[in-house]
Structure 1
Amino acid sequence: MIKGIGCDIVDLSRLDINNDSLALKILTAKEFEIYKNKKTFKQKKEFLGGRFAGKEAFFKAIGIEKGLNSFQDIEILNDINGKPYLNYSKSFISLAHENNYAVAYVIIEV
């Protein structure tokens, strides 16, 4: 049974990645390592924007949940095939990038 569905979109042109302060607020340590290893400006913006949209979508789907109130509480990684996943059981995420936008959908099951 579905507990919640969340969706979010991020305008990548609004992300300032000239310093790491925004990335450090949004990304966990593992996510930040992946971000730092991105080779191009575009790849970094898409990665950061996708994680930001994914975490916002997660919080919309989960609602108010005790102990989950920070971007650092949620981690979005990729499996060996490149598919994104959340570190929260019974959750599903889809991320997409197009031109200047990143979008995410999250479904939480009970």
Structure 2
Amino acid sequence: MLIGVGTDSIEIVRVRAAIEKIGCSFVRRLFTEREEEYCEGKKDPYSSYAARFAGKEAVFKALGLGLGGCKWTDVEIINEAGGRPQVFLYGQAAQIAQEKKIAGVLISLSHDRERAVAFAAAVSAEAILMRE
């Protein structure tokens, strides 16, 4: 069963400007070590950071949080070996998901030269089982 949805879009240049201006403290406040490692391993790390930024905002919305209620690093988006992004919830985000009986969050990320976009769907255990 679908419990919540969220979407977000951001200009890649905005994320790039924030990283170049603020540096490591910006990256560490918003992204986990695994996300940073993934993004920095890319030819264009800024588009990957922007996609994850949009993804996290989409997940917050799917959980019913808007932009408050948990830390940015409570949501982690890591690509599986085949490339499909997967959402991991920690801390307050995991607690909220448990309270709302959310078993997982499905996510789609995309970007072009200018924008990154994400769509997230918070689903129940039945939906996860049907997907597998």
TM class, shorter-length: 0.7 to 0.9
What is aligned with 1:98? 112
Higher relative contact order (CA 8 A, sep 6+): 1
Q: Confirm or deny: 8 A CA contact 1:25 1:71 kept in the other structure.
A: yes
What is aligned with 1:71? 72
Distance 1:69 1:35 in 2: 22
The number of residue pairs the alignment matches comes to 104
What is aligned with 2:24? 20
SS at match of 1:25: helix
Query: Of the two, which has the highest radius of gyration?
Result: 2
What is aligned with 1:32? 36
Shift of 1:90: 2.0
SS at match of 1:69: coil
What is aligned with 2:58? 57
Between the aligned residues of both structures, percent identity stands at 34
What is aligned with 1:83? 84
Distance 2:58 2:2 in 1: 15
RMSD value, Cα: 1.5
Q: Confirm or deny: 8 A CA contact 2:39 2:46 kept in the other structure.
A: no
Q: Confirm or deny: 8 A CA contact 1:26 1:51 kept in the other structure.
A: no
2:32 is aligned with what amino acid?
Answer: T
Q: Confirm or deny: 8 A CA contact 1:86 1:93 kept in the other structure.
A: yes
1:69 is aligned with what amino acid?
Answer: C
Shift of 1:26: 1.3
Shift of 1:63: 1.0
Structure 2 stretches of 5 or more lacking a match?
90-102, 125-132
Distance 1:28 1:8 in 2: 20
What is aligned with 2:122? 108
Give the TM-score taking structure 1 as reference length: 0.86
Structure 1 stretches of 5 or more lacking a match?
none
Which structure has the highest helix share of the two? 2
Give the TM-score taking structure 2 as reference length: 0.72
